[in-house]
Structure 1
Amino acid sequence: MSITPETPRLPFFHAGPAPQGAGPRQGALRDGLILTPGMKVGLFGGSFNPAHEGHAHVAETAMRRLGLDRVVWLVSPQNPLKDTRDSAPLAERMASAQAQIRGPSMIVSDFESRAGVVWTVETLRLLVARHPGVHFVWVMGSDNLAGFHRWRGWTDIMRLMPVAVIARPGSQLDSRTAPAAARFAAFRIPAEQAGLLPTLAAPAWTYLTAPLNPLSSTAIRASKRPDAGS
């Protein structure tokens, strides 16, 4: 996707319903959200189908341990690796994410839908290009690291910005021995130095453990099916 001076600039970060008179755009610009050079910003992507306390745990752990100024929840219009039949509408998933964010330093975004991108690597390239000087960190749960090598352009992501992996139940061992972890083992920094991660040159990544939250989107969807518990 090429960006030219004639291409309309998209408002990137959105949260909550559009105010009256805002027109048909989905979402509204969050007042006061300005990304300036030197800021440390976590990018936390996913389907959030639905978002839950486990996601909030990952975002809060990253915010605290990395010393981030912002955590942006990037709600995917549709994960290309997942079945569309299992996915709730984007507006519903954004609302579930909005219900889980903690404080004004977290923001829910439909950037990928607005920019017309599908793959995470495309999203991150656009954000880096449009926000020079901002220290971005890709944030993900350890359950994603286990299969990260299946993502399109995963090595490019590792070389584009630092990565923080937050432990999730049931995936700690698998993720630590994952192909991505092995491939970039030489660039892993100790958890005790996680506060340095946002300002390090990529590739650089760390693995953070914290009290685990067992909730998962899959379990929540299963509990809502008509035959659950029968």
Structure 2
Amino acid sequence: MPHVERGMQVGLFGGSFNPPHAGHALVADIALRRLALDQLWWMVTPGNPLKSVRELAPLAERLRLSEAIARNPRIKVTAFEAAYHVRYTADTLALVREKNPGVDFVWIMGADSLRDFHRWQRWREIMMTFPIAVIDRPGSTLSFLSSVVAKAFDHARVDEAYAPRLAHMRAPAWTFIHGPRSLLSSSAIRRQEGR
């Protein structure tokens, strides 16, 4: 895991990044700025339980490409989940909490992930572990109103004006952050490349 100090605000941005692209970098930059983060961990997952392993490029390649795109020095590209043999986000967050006492974390996801978040293993546990920032994505702006998770945790939604304080809030707490959006998507890039 990247080095952090007590009292820091750190964003956790996980995904398969298959491949990583400028849209991911935009989400990371928006999160750093709007959440007043000291660091953002760009966590390249070894696999995705909701996706076929066959469609994933090798982890080393996805790490290399992520490092090439994530140029902000406050972004730390990591694949620590592979070293700890962690498969599910709930387990990742529990591990991060255990290993980093005194650090304030925020889970970061694109709005397109919020739409299907209720399909994730132990999604309610994830909501109760760290505050969550949902970053707007094209075609997913209304997911913060219509998704199963948004409805179930409507009482925990925080106005985006308070985003800089989100890391200090007790879960469940989540916000939806509007802003510039990129039309890029990993699946569209794979289709163009014939993968």
Confirm or deny a common fold (TM above 0.5): yes
Q: Contact 2:14/2:42 (CA < 8 Å) preserved in 1?
A: yes
Rounded Cα–Cα distance in structure 2 between residues aligned with 1:52 and 1:139: 16
Which residue does the alignment assign to 1:180?
149
Q: What value does the CA root-mean-square deviation take over the aligned residues? A: 1.0
Q: Which has the higher contact order (CA 8 A, sep 6+)?
A: 2
Structure 1 or 2: more helix by fraction:
2
Q: Contact 2:19/2:65 (CA < 8 Å) preserved in 1?
A: yes
Q: Contact 2:144/2:176 (CA < 8 Å) preserved in 1?
A: no
Q: Contact 2:12/2:106 (CA < 8 Å) preserved in 1?
A: yes
Q: Contact 2:21/2:69 (CA < 8 Å) preserved in 1?
A: yes
Detail structure 1 runs of 4+ shifted over 6 Å in the superposition.
none
2:181 to 212, 215, 218: 212
1:202 aligns with 2:164: no
2:105 to 123, 127, 136: 136
Larger Rg belongs to: 1
Percent identical: 47
Which residue does the alignment assign to 1:146?
115
Q: Contact 1:65/1:195 (CA < 8 Å) preserved in 2?
A: yes
Q: 1:11-59: CA deviations, max 9, x gaps?
A: x23xxxxxxxxxxxxxxxxxxxx31111000000000000001101111
Amino acid at match of 1:211: P
Shift of 1:174: 3.3
The two structures have a TM-score, normalised by structure 1, of 0.83
Which residue does the alignment assign to 2:62?
93
1:44 aligns with 2:10: no
Which residue does the alignment assign to 1:109?
78
Tell me, which stretches of 5 or more residues in structure 2 are unaligned?
Answer: none
Number of residue pairs the alignment of both structures matches: 195
Rounded Cα–Cα distance in structure 1 between residues aligned with 2:153 and 2:49: 25
Shift of 1:196: 1.0
The two structures have a TM-score, normalised by structure 2, of 0.97
Q: Contact 1:71/1:107 (CA < 8 Å) preserved in 2?
A: yes
